[in-house]
Amino acid sequence: NAPSFAISGLSWPPEWESELFQTTTIKFNAGFYDGNYVWMTVGAHNVSLRLHASTGEMRMVVCEFGALGVTPGPQTFGTAAFDGRYAWLAPRKANRMVYLDTFSETYNVLSNN
């Protein structure tokens, strides 16, 4: 079902302006719906957006690229695949495979151990 609010009618919290819109690079490369939230995942920027589908409540989720050993830049990630819990970010120019745990709202690196 479509949300009962118009997304164009939502406003960003003022403190997000510098985080989300400080440059003209692509912010979000993929989106998916987990049953409650619409997620827009990181692109070249380190912020994802989580939007509650029925209330419109928005939250930023930050991906600490440096702590994960990921070199950020334009087109770091492409699309994402959602498996019911994790969003797997398809690397474009990223040097690591990264996934978002939607339960804990944290980003992690796929380990080859």
pLDDT at 85: 95
**For residue 5, what pLDDT band results from cuts at 50, 70 and 90?**
very low
Report pTM: 0.72
Characterize 23-52 residue by residue with b for buried, 16 or more Cβ atoms within 10 angstroms of its Cβ, and e for exposed: eeeebbbbbbeeeebbbbbbbbbbbbbbbe
pLDDT in tens, 11-42: 556 656 555 555 555 567 788 899 999 988 77
Dig out the tokens for 57 from the structure: 């409540």
Q: Please check the confidence at residue 83 and state whether its pLDDT lies above 90.
A: yes
